[in-house]
Structure 1
Amino acid sequence: MSGLIRQFDWSDTSVGDLAEWPLSLRTLVRMMLTSRFPSLIFWGDELITFYNDAFRPSLGNDGKHPASLGQPGPVSWAESWPVIGPMIGAIMQGGDAVWFEDQKLPIYREGQMGYAYWTYCFSPITNDEGAVNGVLVTCSETTKTVEGIQQLKASQEFTESLFYHSPISNAVFVENDMTVRMANDAMLAIWGRDESAIGKPFLEVLPELIETGEIERLRAVMATGAPFRRTEARFDLIRYGQPYTGYYNYIYEAMRSSSGDITGVVSVAYEVTEQVLARRAVEDSEARFRSLIEEAPVATALYVGKDMRVQVANETMLRYWGKDASVIGMPLAEALPELEGQPFLGLLDDLFATGRLHEMREAPADLKVDGVLSTYYFDYTYKPLRNAAGEVYAIMNMAIDVTPTVKSNRQVQRARESLQQAVDLAQLGIWQIDLPTQSATFSGRMHSWIEYKEPLTLDDVVDAIIPADLPVFVEAYQRAQQVDSGGRLEVEYRLKNVSTGQVRLIHSIGQTHFDAQGKPVNMSGFSRDVTHERAAQLALRQQVDERTEELAATNEELAASNEELEEANQLLIRSNDNLQQFAYVASHDLQEPLRKIQQFGNLLQLRQGANRLDDESNNYIERMQLAASRMSTLIRDLLTYSRIDTHREASQPIPLNDVIADVRTNLELLLTETDTQLEVADLPTVTGDFSQLAQLVQNLLSNAIKFRQKDVTPRIRIQVQTVRAEQLPADVRPGRFTPVFHRIDVVDNGIGFDEKYVDRIFQVFQRLHGKGEYVGTGIGLAICQKVVANHGGAITAHSQPGQGATFSVYLPA
């Protein structure tokens, strides 16, 4: 770098020829070049760039080096300037040095745009006259260290996610009294207990099992390490205060540390009461129903990495595969070579790249079980799992063997087809509606059903609906235009032909499309004449019911369970699809053009000489930059707001004092610049999620500082008191009942607001002031409300204009 600096033509830069450099610049550059610590200098009003050999490797190849040498800082570091530029500008204006640790910044190197983590310090440096004329940057790249920590955190998150999200009942017992260390919702439901059971001894949680010998069995597993299994075991329980007799399949397995020592006992169970009772009823009534109706528990496996290595597979999944535990640790393609040529491996590769959830019903799979290759059918789900950085690191596979059901359905379908030979296939009428104008287009079949003049309008179709069916149609149509419905329309109604008077039963299916603000834009779909089909289905259903009455009685409860599971899965898939689509658009398709607008705007502002822009052009560019910045902030806030819904509330103790300390660090510069006085009482520990609680406190403090009064030193007090549930104000409705709440008050001396707007301020995009008065997106307080709701609490506010504001957060104690 010494050689490059001597060879560089400095006469074309604002620092001038090297021989004319001031003594201070020569001294600073010489000290930088002899240092072995990565260093960089920005010098002069244009912030001309110098750097040493220790800093050079961080620039990579085919990127910034050597182009950055002698360039103005906003040009050489354009991709990072929106972050570091304001700090450097503040130092040039006389501000103090700043220090940041492990900060993520964009950087162009190795021929592409990427990100790196840095620990760095910006310090002011002076010229020969003693005035600040530059900034010294000392830094160290910490990308590998940060990414290593993120990978460790992702592994820990996976272990907890696998336990709590498993549909199979799980619990962990420790110590000689078999204290309940962990238990998921499914296990608590089997016991008929709530989360208060966690941390209590086994016999204190389930005293009705004292005489059953279960505590001795658990202790035996702890002592010997030998697993204990039982199937269809009967237990007389007291569930939710009521006597209950149930039958269960369960297993006790020893839990071992990394050194092999037994540290506890893992219990896995699922209830088979309905199946046992159904089987016994069949056995008592007729010998031909004495064979067991096989219950298919949920099989689960986890595939990690791009090679889809089998990290976890439970006994049910191994049984489906016809394999033993030796396949764990293998890539899926090696564990199940018969999958070659089937769609699953390619589908998993695609899901690992896109991060989308995939669900199938009655999907065929050719598996080699007991040495025989056969076709089986499964209801299955592939759910991508993400680490703390939002990257897909594994895919969870859950499956239910529905082979007997599929074969039975095919027999029923063949019978149905033989009875419906005279029924024509339904033909579709296609339609599309522009929702803001309520204008519509319809295919010719829709015209033939109504025989109306051209063109057919939406009002014409509505007028043709039988009046008794009109309320059902209107309710479904309006509901489909609401975002929370997913935009799905499905409704049946009768249409009357205006010429012949013929009435048809029409089945319509449609989908509403929404814009970025959640407003309905258009709805499209198809309609089908199901008059004859419904009549034939009714007749067929009666015949099938008569022929399969005995079989239906035994399968009724199982079918009900499957329907509930399918409905829950559909709701989860719809919610995740909508959220993931939004997150993808927000983080990729929207942010990228905004960054380009800002970068090219910066380049336009730096033009010199004959091509220099006039004042009016510069004004337009500044307004464009401000608008792009506001849009970028809005997108980030919306992304934060949407992710709060998908983040599961953690169940771990969070000291609020630690949360305040973390937020103080984040807001240190803002608190110093505004001379804000922050007084914090000794806060309690609550159960929740650290990052969400930090977001809550940071938003409240940032609001208090932003809406401060002119010429008045901002003062913020954080207070706490304990409130019993019966003492809560009438307008405070927490998301979860608990006898006692912590009330945390954030009190400021800012501009305040009229209390008639107290409900409005917690809604998305709601602002009480114009953008010119105070910056912001109107999402901050909506995020606060969602965080508090996730933690089972509530939030409200009290204020008067000019007299400050008090935001009260109620969290379960």
Structure 2
Amino acid sequence: MNSNYEKYLSGGGEMGELTRNFNWAATSLGPPDKWSLTLLTTVSIVLNSKFPMFIWWGPQLIQFYNDAYRPSLGREGKHPAALGQQGADCWREIWPVIKPLIDQVLAGGESTWSEDQLIPIYRNNRLEEVYWTFSYSKLPDENGEIAGVLVTCTETTNKVITLNETKKAKAELEFAINAADLGTWDLDPLTNKFMGNTRLKTWFGLPPEAEIELHRATDVIHESDKKRVLSAIETAMTYESGGHYDIEYTIVGGLDGIPRLVRAVGKAIFNAQKEAIRFSGTLQDITTERNALNKLILAHQRLELSLDQSLLAKKAAQLGTFDLDLLNGTMEWDERCRILFGISHKQEVYYEKDFVGGLHPEDRERILKTIEGVLDKTKTNGNYDVEYRTIGADDGVIRWVRAKGKAYFNAEDKPVRFIGSVLDITEQKTDEIRKNDFIGMVSHELKTPLTSLKGYIQFLGQHAGKNGDKLSSDILGRADSQITKMATLINGFLDVSRLEAGKINLERRPVDLSILIANVIEDLTATSSTHPITMISCKPVLVNVDADKIASVINNLLSNAVKYSPTGSNIEVRCEMKGNTVKVIVTDEGPGIRPSDTERLFERFYRVEDSGSKVIPGFGIGLYLCAEIIERHGGTIGVTSEPGKGADFHFILPLTSATY
């Protein structure tokens, strides 16, 4: 019995207090006055140490720890239950990881050492990823037998996280530099030693050594620029300049022999004595960008010359012109363009106030979305051709205009200029609206008697069939088929009328496009078995569409493939994923289409004229409706074909935010 055990358990802060008041008699260790001198001494050392320490003692690995270790257990986690607890009960989540280390020490093995080791533990009401640097050492009893394990440790979670974030930041910086095709350089003004990355040394024709003399880098600068560059470097390394460096110059003699126009941007750093101690920055090859800009300026000058030369023709055609400088954020309208937007003032015009503000509210979103696509080279080739309404800022007059233009891009495919013309088409558009209204009214009026006539003929056909009158039944069946074709044509006219009047609404919802395609194929093959239709590579994918209208597009493309292909020939439908879009392609083995026809195939009322198509009914509105429906879904439609080699009709739709 150790009557003086209390002096060994004195002090130790919070954990000392908890250790003294703990019911040790309820553990396999028994009360402290029964403990061995070795255990009491070890616990005393741990409790009074300022370094995080932990003890496992005895066969059941009963636990002790000090105040320095206490924070590692977190809040509302294992503390204070871990004190006096068996190791296996306390560390269930990591026991398979740490138990072999404990066994190694208890078996008389060497002490362990682990640095920045990930060992998740349960604390703060959740399982956390925690990093540790720790050592397990054996604790002998009075007989020299190993009775426990001493853990000295420190949590390094913050250090590891900081290191990982630093590595990530460095990797992201290197990625950005590589993605931007930048050269990097670093000059030590005290030694005049120059360092650069591989890209920069390639441009300058420099050897791969880590450091070189500055003059070896400046020797390849074009003679016409060298004096100016050296002067700029000298100025940047004076304290009064602020250390700023931004200059363009030409280098010659690189490893690839290509002259380059480059832009160098850097900054000098100074010490307390206002001496430059470091000068570093980046170098960008702007040769392509500058060439593109020069070509753009030349094209603009030619356009201005062309406009001057065709001034009389312009007045006759009543064309207005616009010029949007995207680099400087300026906009120019001529007098006619101002008139078409109902602007009477002669002051500078602004994109948001005058152009966007002058668009009819019902057309504004559509036109702004179109312009957004025109200025994105990944989506379009920069061509602009739209019709929309304007509301005069000063006169309030609604005008219809047709705008055509072209966006120009720099070497990085960034838009730098948007130039074009605007034509007043109010009169033509008004006539067109009246015509569409008339067509819509007539088509609607024809539907009712045609529906009745179809019902009568079907009734007579059924009656003739029951009476065995095969001739009458066949003739009535053909008449019913012709009425169906007529109804289809009338419905097409109605759809065109509604579409152009803005009365067709899209009822969008997430739809699995592969299922939609399969259903259309199933319905079509049920009524026509003349052509095998195969669905290829159409995996489940979600699109946010009006299912009925997209189904009508698919049906129209497949029906055309059936109509124009030889009986028994194959028709394929396949899908391709491209980024955040899906492309649906319908391939047939028909006669193909001439290039002159493919350019106009989706125009309203346009039909390919040849000996084969003249026997196929229709007014050329099916593909026009398909194109309008796809466009209203934010997609595109097109065709690839050669005479005698069939055709590939396709449309592209954007995906929803989630696919499955």
What band does the TM-score fall into relative to the shorter chain? 0.3 to 0.5
TM-score between both structures, scaled by the size of structure 2: 0.46
Larger radius of gyration, structure 1 or 2?
Answer: 2
TM-score between both structures, scaled by the size of structure 1: 0.39
